[in-house]
Amino acid sequence: MTRALRFGLVAIAVAALITFPYWSAGWESSRFATTVLRDVLVFAIFALSLDLLIGRAGMPSLGHAAFFGAGAYAAGIASQRLGTDQLPITMGAAILVATALALIIGALVVRSEGIFFLMLTLALAQIVFAIAFQWTSVTGGSNGLSGVGRPVIGGLDLTAADRMYVLVAVVFIAVALLLSRIVGSPYGRALVGVRENERRMRALGYDTTRLRLSAFVLAGAIAGVAGALSAYSLRFVSAQDVGIATSVRGFVMVLIGGAGSLFGPVLGAAVVMYIERVLSSAIPVAETVLGLVFVAFVLLARQGIVGVGLAAWARVRR
């Protein structure tokens, strides 16, 4: 496939994704599909950010929801307390708070590895959850934060469902492009080096602690963006956004789709959201199905859907 052809196909796919609410308008279920796809993309951003840690840097975080939730609360609280829905302000608040929190938690966890890293991230995220749950005057506690405003950019109001969708789709594309760029950069290569052999990386002259911390903070900031988009989309922030269920959901998305590939986490987000949102109304045991699917992938296909697909493709070509 030539470069031009590939670029053309990607451009068409991107355009189709962004304009989905318009060309699907004739469908009976267009509104529902747009909502589901919007939420898939929000979680795809979240899963992509988590995969930078799991799939690239080899840092399996079970507390990534802390940054998603921090972004969601920051955007929601900024919108309510500052009385403005200007996107740069509320989104800026989300990124700022998520980044700061990732710096604090990151500084505490980046020196640990494997199962210890997993448990530490989980424990610290639970502390964040406890704060969100109990600091009722700021976060709304167990009631959550309702009535979050949809964003505006200058005079452009994004309240309408189709516009909200377009915002999410555009941010998703931007994040995907950014991450694909990062993965191929000297920085992305260095993260893989840290994952594969941190000792050798140190002996080569890499400050591996700083590399791991920077990846953790970068992933946290992007998760904060996803959180803000979730708050705008649902007009609501729940303590669950910071909770373990959200962390696990991101983890499952990455593993089902395939860690270490940009397409995998996106596919994983789609599969999980489809089971949760579409299948759950058709069959009563959808959550169980999700659990079984996850177990099946952990036992039989560690590389996720993308890994299985690549292996099958390699076999066909041979």
Residue 207 near another protein by CB under 8 A: yes
Q: Which residues contact 185 (CB under 8 A, 6 or more apart)?
A: none
Q: Given the complex with another protein, which of 51 and 241 has the nearer CB atom?
A: 51
Strands (E) across 12-102 are located at none
In the bound complex, what is the minimum distance in angstroms from residue 175's beta carbon to another protein?
13
Site track for another protein across 53-72, x = CB under 8 A: --------------------
Pick from 208, 246, 247, 303 the residue near another protein by CB under 8 A: 208
CA gap 163, 174 in Å, rounded: 16
How many residues in the shown chain lie near another protein by CB under 8 A? Answer: 26
Residue 95 near another protein by CB under 8 A: no
Residue 148 near another protein by CB under 8 A: no
Residue type, 253: M
Pick from 1, 5, 115, 203 the residue near another protein by CB under 8 A: 203
Q: Given the complex with another protein, which of 78 and 211 has the nearer CB atom?
A: 211
| Sign of the alpha-carbon dihedral angle for 33, 254, 75, 214 | negative
Pick from 14, 33, 103, 192 the residue near another protein by CB under 8 A: 192
Residue 48 near another protein by CB under 8 A: no
β-strand partners of 146: 236
Site track for another protein across 162-191, x = CB under 8 A: -------------------xx-xxxxxxx-
How distant, in Å, are the alpha carbons of 52, 109, 130 from that of 124? 19, 9, 10
Which H or E run contains 13?
A: helix 3-18
- Cβ neighbours, 10 Å, residue 243: 21
In the bound complex, what is the minimum distance in angstroms from residue 107's beta carbon to another protein?
17
**Token output for 248:** 């696990």
Q: Which residues contact 157 (CB under 8 A, 6 or more apart)?
A: 150, 163
Q: Given the complex with another protein, which of 155 and 205 has the nearer CB atom?
A: 205
Q: Which residues contact 31 (CB under 8 A, 6 or more apart)?
A: 161
Site track for another protein across 211-250, x = CB under 8 A: x--x---x--------------------------------
Q: Given the complex with another protein, which of 188 and 227 has the nearer CB atom?
A: 188
Residue type, 110: V
Q: Given the complex with another protein, which of 123 and 177 has the nearer CB atom?
A: 177
57: nearest Cα among 205, 221, 193, 261: 193
CA gap 299, 289 in Å, rounded: 15
Angle between helix axes 65-81 and 244-257 (nearest 10 degrees) is 130
Look at the chain and count its residues.
318
Q: Given the complex with another protein, which of 115 and 203 has the nearer CB atom?
A: 203
In the bound complex, what is the minimum distance in angstroms from residue 188's beta carbon to another protein?
7
Residue 193 near another protein by CB under 8 A: yes
Pick from 174, 204, 245, 312 the residue near another protein by CB under 8 A: 204
Could you list the residues that contact another protein (CB under 8 A)?
181-182, 184-190, 192-193, 196-197, 199-208, 211, 214, 218
